[in-house]
Structure 1
Amino acid sequence: MQGALAALVVGLLWGVTNPFVKRGSEAVSAKLSKLPSSGLPQQLRVWLSTPAFLIPQLLNQSGSALFIYLLGSNDISVVVPAANAGSLVVNALADLALGEPLRVPHLLLGAALVAAGVYLCGTPA
């Protein structure tokens, strides 16, 4: 049970940060397009000095680190579906809260794929 709850925390971290990572990436792209030339060190400096990208990315990666830890200490058939289902739902809610359009076909496809994954993980070999 603790693994499933922790996996939902992973889903929360992934789902809520995805729209912010996207917005932060757009901000970085806008900054990079204004530079006369942008070699790798300069691009890296822009990415790392843009809080709109860096903060949600670090939170997202902390969710990934927790996910990897959970995979090593819990039942994969619980952790993976719980994290992905949580991410799907929270991402849709975060998009709505940020004024993004709800993409029903994508949401339904994602839900169907998560359900198929739950079925496959729960089916004895």
Structure 2
Amino acid sequence: MNRFRIVEATLARELAKPYAYGSADCFMLGCAFVDALTGSATADKYRGAYRTLAGAQRALRRRGYASLVSFFAAELGQQPKGGAEARLGDLVILRLADGAEHVGVCLGARFVTKTERGRSDHGLADVIAAFH
């Protein structure tokens, strides 16, 4: 299956799941993409590690990370790139209007994340880091 089909199928599958912290949120969306594109088992490693937003933040700090950017840099073994370098299927960290960081995916000219209200599309200005 080519990259486009993998991205399309993974996004549809993850957005179809009802939002739930620790199993079907933006972080797990990012993990699902890492797994789909690399064959790893990142989602299994972190699924169920938290059940609330505060719990997610504690879990991140407990593992020694100050942000989603530092977490994915270590997990993926690469330095973050600028948003303009993102290509289809790349993982991105978005900073939304409320100041919160969200994990998303690059769909070319737009970036998608999962929120409690469902799919949320964003532009390049909201991307603070990208990972190939």
**TM-score, normalised with respect to structure 2:** 0.28
Question: Max radius of gyration: which structure?
Answer: 1
Structure (1/2) with the larger helix percentage: 1
- Greater RCO (Cα-Cα under 8 Å, separation 6 or more): 1
**TM-score, normalised with respect to structure 1:** 0.30
